[in-house]
C-alpha cells in the first residue's frame, strides 16, 4: 500500500471510530474509486463517503466534528452530483480530499419501502454498482438495500428518441450562432462561455451517443466524462484538442469552427446508425450565419 493510500486508511479509521460513538450516525459507506476494482484509486484520487444520519444539520452546519478525523484547512457545502442532497467537501492539512455526502436516515428508510424502491433502484445502481465498501451499518440499512439491489432486474439502457436527438442537434446549432454573435459584438468572455460551456456540454452528449451508436446500447460510457479518453472514438478524442479556447478572440473563433466540425461528424454518424433524420438545412443555415459573422469581423479588422 502506497503512502497516500495508507494515509486515507488512517483517516477512515479515525472517521469510523468517531462515527461509532455518534448515536445519530446510522451507516457509512465508501463509494467511488476507493471502493472500485475497475479503475481503482490512484495517488490523485479523493475519498467519497456517504454518511446516513438522523441529524444532517450537525454535519452540514458545523465543522467541529471534523477535528476528530483530521485538521481541516478548507471545507464547504455543495449539492451532491444528482442534486438531491448536500455534501461537505474537506481538504485536510495532509492534502487528503474527502467528500462527505450527508443523507437523512428517513430518506433511506423511505427507499426501503417496496413501492418506493423500484423508483430509485436505477439511481442506487448507478451509485453503488461499480463498488461499495461498508464502513459501518448499525441498523442493517445498507445490508437491506444490498439485498434489494441484488434482486433488482436492471432494465436495458434507454436510447434517445429521434425527437430527443433532434432537440440536442438543433440546440447545438442555435448556440453556435448565439456564440458567434457575442464574439462579433466583442464579448469574448460571454462568447467563450457559450463555447466552453453550453456547446461543450451538448458535444459531450453526442460523444456518448455516438459511442453507443457504434459500440452498442450497452457500451459503458461511465458518467460525466470519466475516462472519456478510453471509451470515446479515438478520432473524436484527437479532435477534442482543438475545441476549447483560450481567452483570445481568434483562438475562440478557431475552436468554435473545430467544435462545429466535430459535432457535425458525430451527429451525422449517430443519426445514420440509429435511422434518425438529421437537420441538414438547419446545420447549413447556422454554419453560414456563423461564417458570415466571422468574415464580417475580419473585414472590419
User: Of 103, 89, 98, 85, which is closest to residue 141 (Cα–Cα)?
Assistant: 103
Q: What is the pLDDT along the chain (301 residues), one digit of tens a residue?
A: 588 999 999 999 999 999 999 999 999 999 988 988 888 888 889 999 999 999 999 999 999 999 999 999 999 999 987 768 999 999 999 999 999 999 999 999 998 888 888 888 877 877 777 888 999 999 999 998 888 888 877 677 789 999 999 999 999 999 999 999 999 999 999 999 999 999 999 999 999 999 999 999 999 998 888 899 999 999 999 999 999 999 999 999 999 999 999 999 999 999 999 999 999 999 999 999 999 999 876 666 5
Asked if 77 and 86 touch (Cβ cutoff 8 Å), the reply is yes
Beta strands in the chain (DSSP E): 25-31, 47-53, 72-79, 86-92, 97-104, 133-137
Which residues make beta-bridge pairs with 36? none
Q: Which fold has domain 162-300?
A: 1.20.120
Q: How distant, in Å, are the alpha carbons of 27, 139, 141, 154, 180 from that of 151?
A: 22, 21, 16, 9, 52
Residue 271: phi and psi, rounded to 5, are: -60, -45
Q: Is residue 50 classed as helix, strand or coil in its secondary structure?
A: strand
Topology of the domain comprising 3-151: Beta Polymerase; domain 2 (3.30.460)
Q: Which residues contact 190 (CB under 8 A, 6 or more apart)?
A: 182
CATH 1.20.120.330 location in the chain: 162-300
In whole angstroms, what is the distance from residue 4 CA to residue 234 CA?
32
Instruction: Provide the pLDDT for residue 184.
Output: 94
State how far the alpha carbon of 157 is from the alpha carbons of 125, 207, 217, 269, 276, in Å.
13, 16, 6, 20, 18
Angle, alpha carbons 50-35-224 (nearest 5°):
75
CATH 3.30.460.10 in the chain is located at 3-151
| pLDDT attached to residue 129 | 75
Give dist(CA 129, CA 124) in Å, integer: 8
Beta pairing, strands 72-79 & 133-137: unpaired
Quick check: helix, strand or coil at residue 78? strand
Residues with Cβ within 8 Å of 45's Cβ and at least 6 positions away in sequence, in order, are 32, 33, 34
Kind of pairing between the strands at 133-137 and 97-104: unpaired
CA 291 to chain centre: 33
Amino acid at each position: 500500500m502506497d503512502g497516500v493510500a495508507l494515509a486515507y486508511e488512517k483517516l477512515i479509521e479515525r472517521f469510523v471510530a468517531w462515527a461509532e460513538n455518534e448515536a445519530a450516525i446510522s451507516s457509512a459507506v465508501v463509494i467511488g474509486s476507493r471502493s472500485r476494482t475497475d479503475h481503482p484509486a490512484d495517488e490523485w484520487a479523493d475519498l467519497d463517503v456517504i454518511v446516513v444520519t438522523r441529524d444532517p444539520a450537525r454535519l452540514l452546519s458545523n465543522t467541529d466534528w471534523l477535528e476528530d478525523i483530521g485538521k481541516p484547512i478548507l471545507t464547504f457545502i455543495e449539492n451532491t452530483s444528482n442534486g438531491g442532497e448536500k455534501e461537505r467537501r474537506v481538504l485536510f492539512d495532509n492534502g487528503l480530499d474527502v467528500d462527505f455526502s450527508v443523507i437523512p436516515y428517513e430518506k433511506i428508510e423511505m427507499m426501503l419501502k417496496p413501492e418506493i424502491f423500484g423508483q430509485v433502484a436505477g439511481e442506487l445502481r448507478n451509485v453503488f454498482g461499480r463498488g461499495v465498501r461498508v464502513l459501518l451499518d448499525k441498523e442493517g440499512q445498507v445490508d437491506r438495500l444490498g439485498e434489494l439491489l441484488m434482486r433488482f432486474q436492471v432494465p436495458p439502457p434507454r436510447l434517445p428518441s429521434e425527437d430527443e436527438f433532434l432537440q440536442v442537434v438543433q440546440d447545438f446549432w442555435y448556440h453556435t450562432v448565439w456564440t458567434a454573435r457575442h464574439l462579433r459584438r466583442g464579448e469574448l468572455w460571454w462568447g467563450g462561455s457559450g463555447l466552453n460551456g453550453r456547446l461543450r456540454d451538448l458535444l459531450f452528449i453526442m460523444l456518448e451517443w455516438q459511442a453507443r451508436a457504434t459500440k452498442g446500447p450497452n457500451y459503458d460510457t461511465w458518467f460525466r466524462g470519466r475516462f472519456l479518453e478510453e471509451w470515446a472514438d479515438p478520432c473524436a478524442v484527437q479532435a477534442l484538442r482543438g475545441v476549447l479556447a483560450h481567452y483570445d478572440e481568434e483562438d475562440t473563433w478557431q475552436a468554435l469552427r473545430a467544435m462545429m466540425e466535430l459535432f457535425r461528424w458525430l451527429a451525422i454518424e449517430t443519426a445514420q446508425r440509429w435511422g434518425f433524420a438529421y437537420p441538414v438545412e438547419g446545420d447549413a443555415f447556422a454554419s453560414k450565419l456563423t461564417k458570415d459573422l466571422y468574415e464580417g469581423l475580419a473585414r472590419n479588422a
